[in-house]
């Protein structure tokens, strides 16, 4: 069986690590069919250092193909991915195409594969289309990721979900229940696999981070692209830093906007805020494990903190991962009422935090469940 997996942006790499590991385990078991795994890196993410560090740390094989698409507007990026991916798909003719998450690479490659017709095909005219992390919904169509999620799910043959809300959403949208598989969370597979290694990182010693600290990440366009939104958030971070030391690994997009809006100096000159470049996966996981609080707009960090039991304050109006709120450690605080953010963070600093549980199937075996299902599907 030939499986082609797509990676395009930072979160995809973490999820793909679990798939690659499960493929290796399957092949070593000797169970047929063996899987020939081809990894395509679209090059969507524009920070090459981040991609390289992830592949090294997560032990993912070097991508077989790199489309080197780079950044651009949504239309430019989607079009370029589709144009460069089609000849690759026709040349390789995989039995299964697996995409993860909700970035532009996810929908672009799925759309190409849904319309492809293999020349001289003896069996399938196109690959089985697989979406890992299906069914998640923020119910906010202004988010580009929401459009990507909805379209990818509509086109896919097999849908692997991470939480019960994914199942409920897909059934509500009229998806055949036979397409839906509750596999668990591949992001958590990767976290579990690397926890002990992450603990060995000396990042806190090297950066002289105190025992008690908070962690900040911001990257979403809705939070960083406009000065009238980003400047109040910087003021919010400054005020929280009066109560606790903050580590702020700055995403390239955020760095660009902080610089453009003349806000970077305020953060860099604050003695209680440590501004760093983006950190590798193991170093960031090390900091996540022992943080007192994390302030973020990231979807993946909401999940990681829930598993680790670390309080997470999410600066968004909505989340496509509601289990992190209902069962996990996540507090959803969007909008411009910063008094609520301060109150929640200070409550956490006082030790008044949520009691959380680990969601169903967040057990380190999601990748194995997915590969087992794909093998069975390929044998049909």
| Averages of pLDDT over each 10 residues, the chain, 380 residues | 93 91 96 96 71 71 90 94 98 97 97 95 87 98 96 99 99 98 98 96 98 97 94 96 98 95 98 95 96 96 98 96 98 85 96 95 99 88
Identify the H or E element spanning 65.
Answer: strand 65-66
Q: Which of 157, 116, 119, 292 is nearest to 214 (CA)?
A: 292
Q: Is the dihedral of CA 361, 362, 367, 368 positive or negative?
A: negative
Q: Place domain 197-349 in its CATH homologous superfamily.
A: Glycogen Phosphorylase B; (3.40.50.2000)
Residues 81, 86, 89, CA angle at the centre, nearest 5°? Answer: 115
Nearest-CA neighbor of 114 among 153, 142, 77?
153
d(C-alpha 84, C-alpha 202), whole Å = 41
Number of H helices, E strands in the chain: 17, 13
pLDDT (0 to 100) of residue 5: 98
* DSSP for 316-344, written as a single string: SS--S-THHHHTSSEEE--SS-HHHHHHH
CATH assignment, 2-185+362-378: 3.40.50.2000
pLDDT recorded at residue 379? 75
Contacting residues for 66 by C-beta, under 8 A, at least 6 apart? 40, 41, 42, 43
DSSP single-letter state for residue 70: -
Q: Do 2-185+362-378 and 197-349 share a fold?
A: yes
Q: Which residues touch 126 (CB under 8 Å, ≥6 apart)?
A: 113, 114, 115, 116, 117, 118
Give the integer Cα–Cα distance in Å for 72 and 85. 17
Query: What is the 8-class DSSP label of residue 278?
Result: P
Domain boundaries, the chain: 2-185+362-378, 197-349
Peptide bond into 229 cis (omega under 30): no
For this structure, is 36 an active site residue?
A: no
Give the tokens for residue 72: 């651009």
Phi–psi pair at 340, nearest 5 degrees:
-70, -40
Phi, psi (deg, nearest 5) at residue 17: -60, -40
Task: State the angle between helix axes of 227-240 and 338-349 in degrees (0 to 180), rounded to the nearest 10.
Answer: 30
DSSP state of 178: G
> CA-CA distances (angstroms) from residue 87 to 67, 116, 156?
11, 10, 20
Q: Measured in Å, how far apart are the chain's first and last C-alpha atoms?
A: 12
Catalytic residue among 45, 131, 181, 219: 219
pTM of the model: 0.94
Predicted local confidence at residue 9, as pLDDT: 84
Structure token digits, residue 91: 């040349």
């Amino acid at each position: 069986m030939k499986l082609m997996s797509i990676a395009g942006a930072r979160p995809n790499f973490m999820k793909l690590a679990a798939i690659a590991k499960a493929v290796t385990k399957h092949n070593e078991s000797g169970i047929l069919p063996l899987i020939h795994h081809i990894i395509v890196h679209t090059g969507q993410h524009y920070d090459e250092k981040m991609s390289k560090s992830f592949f090294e740390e997560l032990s993912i094989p070097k991508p077989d193909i790199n489309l080197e698409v780079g950044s651009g507007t949504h239309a430019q990026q989607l079009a370029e991915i589709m144009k460069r991916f089609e000849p690759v798909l026709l040349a390789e003719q995989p039995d299964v195409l697996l995409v993860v998450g909700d970035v532009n690479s996810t929908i672009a490659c799925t759309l190409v594969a849904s319309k492809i017709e293999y020349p001289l095909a003896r069996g399938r005219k196109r690959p089985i289309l697989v979406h890992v992390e299906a069914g998640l919904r923020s119910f906010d169509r202004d988010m580009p990721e929401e459009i990507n999620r909805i379209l990818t799910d509509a086109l896919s043959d097999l849908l692997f979900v991470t939480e019960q809300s994914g199942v409920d959403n897909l059934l509500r949208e009229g998806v055949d229940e036979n397409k839906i598989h509750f596999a668990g969370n591949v992001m958590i597979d990767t976290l579990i696999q690397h926890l002990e290694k992450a603990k060995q990182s000396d990042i806190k010693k090297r950066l002289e981070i105190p025992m008690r600290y908070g962690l900040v990440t911001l990257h979403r366009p809705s939070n960083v692209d406009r000065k009238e939104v980003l400047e109040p958030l910087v003021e919010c971070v400054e005020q929280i830093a009066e109560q606790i030391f903050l580590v702020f690994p700055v995403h390239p997009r955020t760095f660009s906007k902080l610089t453009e809006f003349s806000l970077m100096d305020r953060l860099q000159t604050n003695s209680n805020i440590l501004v760093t470049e983006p950190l590798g996966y193991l170093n960031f996981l090390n900091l996540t494990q022992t943080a007192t609080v994390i302030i973020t707009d990231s979807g993946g960090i909401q999940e990681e903190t829930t598993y680790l039991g670390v309080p997470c304050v999410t600066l968004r109006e909505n989340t496509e991962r509601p289990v992190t709120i209902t069962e996990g450690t996540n507090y959803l605080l969007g909008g411009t009422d910063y008094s609520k953010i301060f109150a929640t963070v200070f409550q956490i600093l006082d030790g008044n935090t949520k009691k959380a549980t680990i969601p169903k199937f967040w057990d380190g075996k999601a990748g194995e469940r997915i590969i087992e299902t794909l093998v069975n599907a390929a044998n049909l």
